[in-house]
Amino acid sequence: MVECSKIVTHSKDENVENQQVIDAVVEAVNKHQIFGDLLTTVEKQYLLDRGVVRSVLPGVKLCRQAQRDDKLFILVVGEVEASSGEDSSKTHIASLKQGEIFGEIAALFGMPRVCDITVVRPSVVLEIPSEVLRSIIEARIELRDAVLERFRDRITETALRTVPMFRFLTEESMQSLVEHSTVYGAPPGSILIEEGEIGESLFVVIYGNLRVSHDVNGKHLNLALLQPGDYFGEWSLLTGSPRTATVSALSQVELVCVERSAFLEVVQKHPEIRDRIDLEAHNRHDQLETTEALSGEHRAGQNLDEIKDILKNTD
């Protein structure tokens, strides 16, 4: 039996160390699609031992859309609301109640939050740092693969909604993209796209880090580092022009790969996406010209230090 042996709270007015709270936390963990049957009893206990119980009041935002965060939550008591958009044009997505878990996909893969989570009734949550969950997932490759397989559609949609130009797509358009997307994994050193080739796919990073490089007079200059929530390949996909940079994996990576036909169909239905892509492409073009104008050795060395830091952390 899993027990919640280490529960603390920042509230001086409430004693949450009682059997009812413990039972609610354990029940939520046991019923969850990831935690229920994929984690061992020891792994569940590891999660619970490192969780912190907090009491939160209405109006508190536990998650903010587009921000990167490092926590997942179990709602022990109370109610929270998931919504997207600004306060003046907020869209209600769902109400979450006792026993529900939220934030696990963003916490697992380090992606930006896709919605706000706001407390609507006095609530108690168990807050678990993302590194605790990641340490379990990364210790067992088969567990990571099982999570990706079971949550393929949900992970795909979450990844796509982290992309600003897709964030406010209708459900119909989003489902079309999800249905014509695949989750693709690649080991360190893999080349995802190569400068000069014609693009057939758009990529969104779920997990891992990638390097963007550009050839200048036979030398590869490092332009950028990509992380979960970043995307690439859209300009070549839209215009049919050759890729302007090479993107390679610095670590094991997982990506959403969107088919060209589905992407173009969505762009046709939502012309504002084209405007966003044009703006982003203009910004990247300016960055490319600036990079070429700088001393190649200085720029390459500067980014190489950053890349080495990432490689150290992925050993």
Higher pLDDT, 10 or 267: 267
Mean per-residue pLDDT of the chain: 79
pLDDT value of position 292 = 54
From residue 100, how far is each of 25, 94, 97, 133 by CA, in Å? 9, 12, 6, 17
| 119 and 252 belong to one structural domain | no
For the ranges 168-172, 205-209, 250-254, 305-309, the lowest mean pLDDT is seen at 305-309
| 27 and 134 belong to one structural domain | yes
pLDDT value of position 281 = 66
The CA distance from 159 to 263, in Å, is 15
Residues of the domain holding 282 = 165-314
Query: Residue 62: pLDDT band by 50, 70, 90 thresholds?
Result: very high
| 256 and 215 belong to one structural domain | yes
User: For residue 276, how many other CB atoms are within 10 A of its CB?
Assistant: 16
Query: Residue 7: pLDDT band by 50, 70, 90 thresholds?
Result: very low
Tens digits of per-residue pLDDT, 237-258? 888 889 989 999 999 898 999 9
Establish if 252 belongs to a structural domain. Answer: yes
Query: Residue 80: pLDDT band by 50, 70, 90 thresholds?
Result: very high
CATH for 47: 2.60.120.10
Higher pLDDT, 115 or 288: 115
pLDDT value of position 296 = 47
Give me 76's structure tokens. 């022990």
Beta bridge partners of 117: 63, 82
Considering the entire predicted model, what is its pTM? Answer: 0.65
